[in-house]
Structure formats: C-alpha cells, structure tokens
Amino acid sequence: MEQRLLFGKLRNIGALGDTPMADGTRRLVNLPEKFSRSLAKEDIDQLQAEAASRDFAETLRLFRDLSSSDCGLRAIQAEALRAMVSSVRDRFRCPEWQQDATIPLHLDYRCLRGGNPALGAALGLLGSSLGKNSSLKHDLALAGVAPRQKPISIPLQVARAVSKSISRHGGGEIAVGSLLIELGPSYVRLKMVAVRAPSTPSIAGCRTVVAEDFGFTNTSSIVVLRSRTPVGEGALSRISGHNGGHAKKLTKKLAKAFLQSHVAGDDVEVLETMQFDGRDFLTRVSSHAARVDRLRSEIDRLYNRLDRIRAEINLVAGVEASAIVPEVAAMPDHSRYTAMHARFFRLLKAVGRLKEVRRAVYCTVAGLKKSWFGYVAQRKADLAAKHEAVVVTEDLDILAVPTDNPTRDAPLTR
C-alpha cells in the first residue's frame, strides 16, 4: 500500500487543489504545503516528466536512491520527493504502544475454528452461565492465520460474581450478543457483549386504550376506548387466547359473544374513532408500478438490440458472437465496425439512463410506503398522547402475497 501510494503521488505530482491558500497560491496536493510556494512550474514539469518516464519498479528505485543522493535532480526537487516519502511513511507508520493502549477486535464466525456453529455454541454457553448465575471455563479456538494451521486457543472464563452482577441489573432474559478480543501491550483478553431481551410492558391497570385494525387494502381503523374499571389480568389472558392458535376463528367468535353478553355501554366508553383509507395510497403505488413495467419493457427491448449489434460487431471482428465488445474500437479503419461500435455504446448508455430512472421510481415507492405508514403511526401516537392511553394492535400472522396485478387488492400489510 505504501509503495503504491508513493507511485501514485509521483505520477500526479502536478495535481492542484481547488481551494487556493491564504496567499492565493493553489496547493500541490501530493506535497507538503511549503513546496507549493518554493517549487517553480519548471520544477513541477520536470518531475512530472520524470514520473511519466518510469514504471513502478523504476519509481521505487528512485525513491530508494534519493536517500543517498539527489539522482540528478535539482536540490529543491530532491528535497520535495524526500518530503513526499517522509509523509507517506508517517501515514503508514506502525502504532506505538503506550501503557494503557488496547485494540478491540470483534469476532465473527470466520474468526473461529468451526465457523458459525462454534460461535453459536460459545455464545450459548456464555448466555446459559449468565442466566444460571454460574461460573464458566471454556477454551475458545480461534482460526489460524494460515490455512490448515493449528487453532489459537484462548481461555474464556466467567466468574460467578460476574454472572450475578449482570443478572441483578434489570429484568428480561440475558443473552450474549457478540465476542471481542482486546489486545494490549502484553496481554490478550476476551470480552463479551451481554444483551437483554426487552420486556413487554403490561397494560394491566390501564383504563384507556388506542386500538387499531389494519385492513387488506392498507385501511387503518382506530378507536379510542375507556373502561370504567381498570383492565385486569383475567381480561388480558382472554385477549391473548383470542389472538392466535389453531382455533383462531372459533376464539374470535367466542370473544365476540363474551363482549356482547358481558360488556355494556356503561362499561366501555368510545372516546374517538378514526379511519384512514389506504386505497389512494395503493392507487399511487399502482401507477408507479405500471411505470416500472414500461421501463423494464424498454430496457429488455434495448438489451435485445444490443445482443444483435454485438453479434454483428464480433462477426466483423472475427471473434465469438458472445465476446465482450471493447470500449476502444478494435478496427478503427473499418467503417461498418466503427459505426456499429458507436451505436452499441450509445444504446448501452441509454440502458444505464433507463435503469437510473427505474431506480428513482423504486425510491419514490419506498418513500410513499414510509410516508403512509409513518403518517398512520403518528396519528396513533397523537391519540395516545391526547387521551393518555396505551396503544394495542393485533398480532398479525399473515404473510405478504406478491401479485402480478398491482391494481388487485393484495394483503400488503398482514
């Protein structure tokens, strides 16, 4: 990397920055600032000519020889190149360890002998020891630095006190999300990132809820309800039973019958209702989908033309019909070849422009979806803040079904 950077800097030694310095001089971006003022244009031209006359090996030889002589260059020119070498070496200099220096390296499955199963097993063992407040000793086998090399074994230890300390803070199930190695000046230390599953807040004791039902046409129906008595655990268990399982349709009927026979208008008050019709949203998406279909058809048509022109170009050039057409015309003196070659790349650019337009349409559709669902979510949040209520939604378990007809009502949200 260091050698390639030196070669590139010398090849572009005359490159100037866009923003002038304080005195109006444009800076030579590949040299320290002082040489932008001390080097004359003739010096830059001569160094640029030297760079153009040397290949990679000869350029590196020049930089090596500059350590002992000026290599036939003027003193200011040689000094500028030595400063270039010094700046590149400072950039790629090895880090200097200090007493408290550490380098953290996060481990993924490629770092362990055994790959993903080995990493999963190690994370599972650590999570189990934390959950049981127990200690753990385990040897972690890191992959060698070369193929078929012996693994690098690093001891992994978790004290019981550490497990208890982590378990004491907060609720929820504990798991280990990832591992990392901490490299110090004279030690290697394994560390883990412990994560805790977020606990679902209970609505027991609440009186006001914002309930929503999303329809198959992205229509959102929202109602704000207030109960005369706080919601109890018994009601929550009935609701959870009605929300899933193999007998979902049956339990919904039972829930409806229970509400009709047990809940009166005096028990539950409807504070506010709201409905957002998603048909306009789907109509907008449908119009963009039709445009994507037209663009796809045009791109396919151009690709077919490109295939025919490529076959003709390669037939004239005497190569295989499926060979890649070079960007530089291989037969510049052949009039038919050059005409077809120019036409081929004009059509290829047109394909690129159509793909850019199609990509913009995709971004527009993504923005529409984000705006619609974000708008509905914000209205729910506004109702919850207005009535100091909790938001309750249905636990949907219906997968999205793709359709070739964008105008047909499709289950886009369930």
pLDDT in tens, 336-351: 999 999 999 999 999 9
Same domain, residue pair 28 and 51: yes
Q: Is 239 domain-assigned?
A: no
Contacts of 269 (CB under 8 A, 6+ apart): 225, 226, 227, 228
Same domain, residue pair 55 and 164: no
pLDDT at position 204 over 80: no
Q: Is 242 domain-assigned?
A: no
Hey, what are 1's tokens? 């990397």
Same domain, residue pair 84 and 220: no
What is the average per-residue pLDDT within 219-233?
Answer: 85
User: Which of 145, 180, 196 finishes a domain?
Assistant: 196
Same domain, residue pair 74 and 165: no
User: Which strand (E) or helix (H) includes residue 271?
Assistant: strand 268-276
pLDDT at position 131 over 90: no
pLDDT at position 127 over 90: no
User: Which of 155, 175, 196 finishes a domain?
Assistant: 196
Around Cβ 33, how many Cβ atoms within 10 Å?
11
Range of the domain at 38: 2-91
Distance CA 408, CA 411 (A): 10
Q: Is 247 domain-assigned?
A: no
**Predicted local distance difference test score (pLDDT) of residue 361:** 94
Same domain, residue pair 219 and 172: no
Number of domains forming the structure of the chain: 3
Same domain, residue pair 412 and 281: yes
Distance CA 382, CA 360 (A): 32
Same domain, residue pair 281 and 414: yes
Beta carbons of 287 and 281 less than 8 angstroms apart: no
**Predicted local distance difference test score (pLDDT) of residue 322:** 85
**The dihedral sign for the CA sequence 271, 277, 278, 281:** negative
Mean pLDDT, all residues of the chain? 83
pLDDT at position 249 over 60: no
Tokens 């310095």 locate to: 21
Residues making up the chain, counted from first to last: 414
Beta carbons of 111 and 81 less than 8 angstroms apart: no
Q: Is 218 domain-assigned?
A: yes
Distance CA 388, CA 299 (A): 54
What is the average per-residue pLDDT within 192-219?
Answer: 79
Q: Is 254 domain-assigned?
A: no
Same domain, residue pair 56 and 110: no
Tokens 């805790």 locate to: 196
Hey, what are 13's tokens? 């030694």
| Backbone region of residue 66 per phi and psi (left: phi > 0; alpha: psi in -120 to 50; beta: other values) | alpha
Beta carbons of 205 and 159 less than 8 angstroms apart: no
Q: Is 377 domain-assigned?
A: yes
pLDDT at position 408 over 60: no
Beta-strand (E) ranges in 128-249? 136-142, 152-158, 174-183, 188-196, 208-214, 220-227
Q: Is 243 domain-assigned?
A: no
Same domain, residue pair 271 and 312: yes
Backbone angles phi, psi at 201, to 5 degrees: -65, 145
Same domain, residue pair 215 and 308: yes
- Output the pTM of the full model: 0.47
**Predicted local distance difference test score (pLDDT) of residue 170:** 53
pLDDT at position 218 over 90: no
Q: Is 245 domain-assigned?
A: no
Same domain, residue pair 72 and 107: no
What is the average per-residue pLDDT within 163-186?
Answer: 79
What is the average per-residue pLDDT within 242-246?
Answer: 49
**Predicted local distance difference test score (pLDDT) of residue 304:** 94
88: nearest Cα among 115, 107, 109, 66:
66
Same domain, residue pair 55 and 157: no
Lowest mean pLDDT among 113-122, 373-382, 404-413: 404-413
User: Which of 26, 56, 91 finishes a domain?
Assistant: 91
Lowest mean pLDDT among 16-25, 30-39, 330-339, 388-397: 388-397
- Percent of the chain having pLDDT more than 70? 86
